[in-house]
Amino acid sequence: MQVAVTLAIKAWHATTAVAAAAGTAIYSTGGAVAGALGSIGAGGAAAGTAGASGAGAASTAAAAGKGLTALNILDGSITAFSAYAGYAQGQAAKAQAEEQAFIAETEARGDLIRGRQEGNDILDAANTRIARTITAFGNAGVEINSGSASRVIGNLARQTEEDVGQVDENAVLSARVRRSNARSLRRQGRRAGLIGLVNAGVTTGQGAIRIRERG
């Protein structure tokens, strides 16, 4: 409230006609810049800042042009608070989305690491099992290159290869899904931040219009 009062008092000392005209021009320019930049999805922060700054200047100028009244001061204070609340909400949503995206990417890396570890464990267990099988054939006097022994060992090796491949495929698929989710979350966060900036500019602009029309 104190900030709004100070701004309004300073604005009161400006010339009525000049202040009103400047407010209208700044408001129109700031809103146009915000709309142009926001519509192409580039420079979201710059767009929101331009719109909010233009609308804020218009609100102050309008207060000067129409007269310093308690109602205008109160309206300006409420408008400023509402604009900041909209901006803060958008930034909070953006920060939350970024945090969730970071978690998703971390989990994706974890999936790949666990997949490799599980694959190594399968290989170790298979090597141990094959070594014991070869030893058992040898103790029984069976040549490992004979038909039956060769088939048993070959089957163990093929099964191991399939198991490792399946584990690796599952890990890669899970990581891909998590990374896709992370990209989606970041897009949502950027959109939420831009919407918050635009809403702040719109709220401030609407306050400026009310002050000018109140007279």
Residues 129 and 156 in one domain: yes
Q: Average pLDDT in the 97-104 region?
A: 95
206 and 182 in one domain?
Answer: no
Report the pLDDT value the prediction gives residue 11, as an integer from 0 to 100: 38
Residues 6+ apart with CB under 8 A from 205: 27, 30, 31, 51, 54, 55, 58, 59
- Which tokens is 36 given? 């142009």
Same domain? For 160 and 210 the reply is no
Higher pLDDT, 57 or 147: 147
Question: Residue 68 — very low, low, confident or very high, per pLDDT cuts 50/70/90?
Answer: low
Answer with the residue of higher pLDDT: 159 or 29. 159
The answer to whether residues 178 and 207 belong to one domain is: no
Which residues have a Cβ under 8 Å from the Cβ of 5 and sit 6 or more positions away?
73
107 and 185 both lie in a single domain: yes
Q: Pick 140 or 25 by higher pLDDT.
A: 140
Residues 101 and 61 in one domain: no
Domain boundaries, position 116: 97-190
Mean pLDDT for 191-211 is: 87
Q: How many CA atoms lie within 13 A of 36 on its CB side?
A: 7
Mean pLDDT, rounded, of the chain: 74
* Same domain? 20 vs 74: yes
Are both 10 and 56 inside the same structural domain? Answer: yes
Does the pLDDT of residue 61 top 60, yes or no? Answer: no
Q: Assign 68 to helix, strand or coil.
A: coil
User: Is residue 178 located within the same domain as residue 163?
Assistant: yes
Region 193-213: mean pLDDT is: 85
- Give the pTM: 0.58
Q: Which residue has the higher pLDDT, 103 or 63?
A: 103
Please give the pLDDT value at position 215: 60
Q: Are 176 and 140 in a shared domain?
A: yes
Closest of 208, 210, 215 to residue 24, by C-alpha: 208
Confidence category of residue 74, pLDDT binned at 50, 70, 90:
confident
143 vs 101: which has the higher pLDDT: 101
Domain count, the chain: 2
105 and 168 housed in the same domain: yes
Say yes or no to pLDDT of 26 above 80.
no
Q: How many CA atoms lie within 13 A of 26 on its CB side?
A: 24
pLDDT, position 80: 85
Local confidence band at 44 (pLDDT 50, 70, 90 cut-offs): very low
